[in-house]
């Protein structure tokens, strides 16, 4: 059986003996020490030893263009972040139970990037913990249990987050109070999606479950990337209205779209003109340091905070906060959001030009430095996950790293660190054109 069933672009351990001897030994050692739950990317896994900017280097000194990693969002090993971490680690690294101003200064700056109404933030170590906390807060605040999600959502690995993550596959059951709706269709104006959410809530109520929250990645990343299906920026407004009319909270999962990735705004939901009740962030927040959090309307945290003590040993520790503050500095001083807008547009234009020359790519979508290219079998017109994976591996062989996404893995997922520049797009395009020729 393919052990990659629940992960697009996973290395199949059954092929381990085809690897070169050194890599084979590492992969076997890894399987024996870490067990089978850990997956590697690519048919020929990459042995990365160093990173800098938008490049990764393997053990043989080969350089790879990183067009995939959104955690080192301001660039691998950015000197400003490295220095901030080193300086803070040499000064103090402690938790949130002392009256340090470091965390307050950061919280103030971070909340300054949110729209009015979002006025408080709680810190965690991972996006999953942040999702977990947001669900607890939503259930406490509303008195409801029910959660509405999209059909191939991914929200994390804790028990509560995994229960709302259908993309983990059939072996991970959804929670009893979890209802799914299809991800927005490519040409939806938002109304169909909102109607589907309304129907899901009605069905939930018929089963005696009250709504607590709707949660969605503002870019629908694991659903195949749906930045703004039919164009109008207010696409998410009708669903937010439906959720609130039903007494639920709108949770924006900004783990992937946040921190300027979309180019148009700091947060993915801002592109739609909505203000969520809770926003969950993580991944790029500390450029690789374990920091994540939940930003909220203060009135929603009020009673929860009075009745429920919250302490997270490592969440919001001094070193992670210093890293996160440096990340904000770099995004602002290097104009990375603006860069995402500019280079992201160039990336989409380039992909569209490539798509014109092949019947295999049926659509290109994207927003800022987050792009998808859908592979379709020209004979059947059906999504072609195999072709997408062959291209992902073809690019890896040409030392350009991307991946694939969507329910059938048929969409290329291109999501580089934000300092990605036009020459990097050109290098990606050259490798992609070459890889397509071999299909």
Ligand X SMILES: Cc1ncc(COP(=O)(O)O)c(C=O)c1O
Enumerate the H helices of 90-190 as residue ranges: 102-112, 127-142, 159-162
Structure tokens at 295: 């930003």
Question: Looking at 11, 114, 154, 269, which residue binds ligand X (CB under 6 A)?
Answer: 154
Site string for ligand X, 386-415 (x = CB under 6 A): ------------------------------
Query: What residues between 170 and 189 interact with ligand X by CB under 6 A?
Result: none
Answer for the pair 164, 132: CB distance below 8 angstroms, yes or no: no
Question: Looking at 76, 139, 141, 155, which residue binds ligand X (CB under 6 A)?
Answer: 155
By CB under 6 A, tell whether 282 contacts ligand X.
yes
Query: What residues between 20 and 79 interact with ligand X by CB under 6 A?
Result: none
Structure tokens at 283: 């991944």
- Taking the complex as a whole, how short is the minimal distance between the CB of residue 356 and ligand X, in angstroms? 31
- Taking the complex as a whole, how short is the minimal distance between the CB of residue 289 and ligand X, in angstroms? 11
Q: Judged by CB, which is closer to ligand X: 125, or 387?
A: 125
CA distance 186 to 229: 5
Q: Judged by CB, which is closer to ligand X: 18, or 172?
A: 172
Question: Looking at 127, 248, 286, 385, which residue binds ligand X (CB under 6 A)?
Answer: 127
H or E stretch at 211: strand 211-217
37 DSSP assignment: T
Scanning 100-108, 115-123, 133-141, 153-161 for contacts with ligand X by CB under 6 A, the matching segment is: 153-161
By CB under 6 A, tell whether 209 contacts ligand X.
no
Question: Looking at 217, 228, 264, 374, which residue binds ligand X (CB under 6 A)?
Answer: 217
H or E stretch at 121: strand 120-124
- Taking the complex as a whole, how short is the minimal distance between the CB of residue 165 and ligand X, in angstroms? 8
Query: What residues between 78 and 117 interact with ligand X by CB under 6 A?
Result: none
By CB under 6 A, tell whether 214 contacts ligand X.
no
Residue among 95, 83, 91, 75 at smallest CA distance from 323: 83
By CB under 6 A, tell whether 126 contacts ligand X.
yes
Q: Judged by CB, which is closer to ligand X: 66, or 253?
A: 253
Residue among 81, 43, 47 at smallest CA distance from 404: 43
H or E stretch at 150: strand 146-150
- Taking the complex as a whole, how short is the minimal distance between the CB of residue 14 and ligand X, in angstroms? 26
Scanning 152-160, 293-301, 334-342, 404-412 for contacts with ligand X by CB under 6 A, the matching segment is: 152-160
CA distance 342 to 42: 29
Scanning 26-34, 49-57, 98-106, 252-260 for contacts with ligand X by CB under 6 A, the matching segment is: 252-260
For 316, residues 6+ apart whose C-beta sits below 8 A from its C-beta are 95, 96, 103, 123, 124, 291, 293
For 208, residues 6+ apart whose C-beta sits below 8 A from its C-beta are none
Cβ-count burial 132-145 (b if 16+ within 10 Å, e if not)? bbbbbbbbbbbebb
Number of residues that bind ligand X (CB under 6 A): 15
By CB under 6 A, tell whether 255 contacts ligand X.
yes
3-state secondary structure of 318: helix
By CB under 6 A, tell whether 131 contacts ligand X.
yes
Answer for the pair 218, 190: CB distance below 8 angstroms, yes or no: no
Scanning 58-66, 150-158, 166-174, 307-315 for contacts with ligand X by CB under 6 A, the matching segment is: 150-158
Answer for the pair 256, 219: CB distance below 8 angstroms, yes or no: yes
Question: Looking at 73, 113, 167, 256, which residue binds ligand X (CB under 6 A)?
Answer: 256
Scanning 123-131, 136-144, 184-192, 302-310 for contacts with ligand X by CB under 6 A, the matching segment is: 123-131
With CB atoms as reference, the residue minimizing the distance to ligand X is 127
CA distance 334 to 41: 31
Phi-psi region of 368 (alpha: psi -120 to 50; beta: other; left: phi over 0): left
By CB under 6 A, tell whether 128 contacts ligand X.
yes
- Taking the complex as a whole, how short is the minimal distance between the CB of residue 290 and ligand X, in angstroms? 8
Chain residues binding ligand X by CB under 6 A are 126-128, 131, 154-157, 217, 221, 253, 255-256, 282, 292
């Amino acid at each position: 059986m393919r052990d990659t069933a629940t992960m697009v672009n996973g290395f199949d351990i059954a092929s381990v003996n085809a690897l070169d001897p050194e890599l084979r030994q590492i992969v076997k050692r890894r399987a024996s020490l870490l067990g089978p739950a850990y997956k590697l990317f690519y048919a020929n896994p990459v042995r990365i030893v160093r990173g800098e900017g938008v490049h990764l280097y393997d053990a043989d000194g080969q350089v790879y263009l990183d067009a995939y990693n959104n955690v080192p969002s301001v660039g691998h090993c950015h000197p400003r972040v490295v220095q901030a971490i080193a300086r803070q680690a040499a000064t103090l690294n402690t938790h949130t139970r002392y009256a340090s101003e470091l965390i307050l200064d950061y919280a103030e700056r971070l909340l300054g990037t949110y729209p009015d109404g979002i006025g408080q933030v709680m810190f965690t170590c991972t996006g999953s913990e942040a999702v977990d906390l947001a669900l607890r807060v939503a259930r406490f605040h509303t008195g409801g249990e029910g959660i509405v999600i999209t059909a191939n959502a991914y929200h994390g690995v804790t028990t509560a987050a995994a229960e709302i993550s259908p993309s983990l596959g059939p072996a991970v059951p959804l929670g009893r109070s979890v209802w799914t709706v299809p991800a927005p269709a490519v040409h939806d104006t938002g109304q169909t999606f909102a109607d589907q959410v309304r129907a899901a809530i009605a069905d939930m109520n018929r089963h005696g479950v009250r709504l607590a929250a709707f949660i969605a990645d503002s870019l629908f990343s694991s659903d195949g990337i749906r930045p703004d299906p039919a164009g109008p920026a207010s696409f998410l407004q009708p669903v937010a209205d439906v959720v609130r009319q039903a007494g639920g909270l709108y949770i924006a999962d900004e783990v992937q779209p946040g921190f300027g990735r979309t180019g148009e705004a700091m947060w993915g939901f801002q592109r739609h003109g909505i203000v969520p009740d809770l926003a969950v962030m993580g991944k790029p927040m500390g450029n690789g340091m374990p920091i994540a959090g939940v930003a909220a309307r203060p009135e929603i945290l009020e009673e929860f905070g009075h009745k429920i003590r919250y302490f997270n040993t490592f969440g919001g520790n001094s070193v992670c906060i210093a890293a996160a503050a440096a990340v904000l500095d770099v995004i602002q001083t290097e104009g990375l959001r603006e860069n995402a807008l500019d280079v992201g547009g160039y990336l989409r234009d380039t992909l569209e030009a490539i798509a014109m020359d092949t019947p295999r790519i049926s659509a290109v979508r994207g927003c800022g430095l987050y792009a998808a290219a859908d592979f379709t079998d020209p004979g059947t017109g059906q999504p072609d996950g195999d072709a997408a994976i062959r291209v992902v591996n073809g690019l890896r062989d040409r030392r350009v790293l991307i991946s694939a996404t969507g329910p059938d893995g048929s969409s290329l997922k291109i999501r580089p660190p934000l300092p990605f520049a036009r020459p990097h797009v050109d290098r990606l395009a050259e490798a992609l054109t070459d890889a397509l020729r071999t299909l």
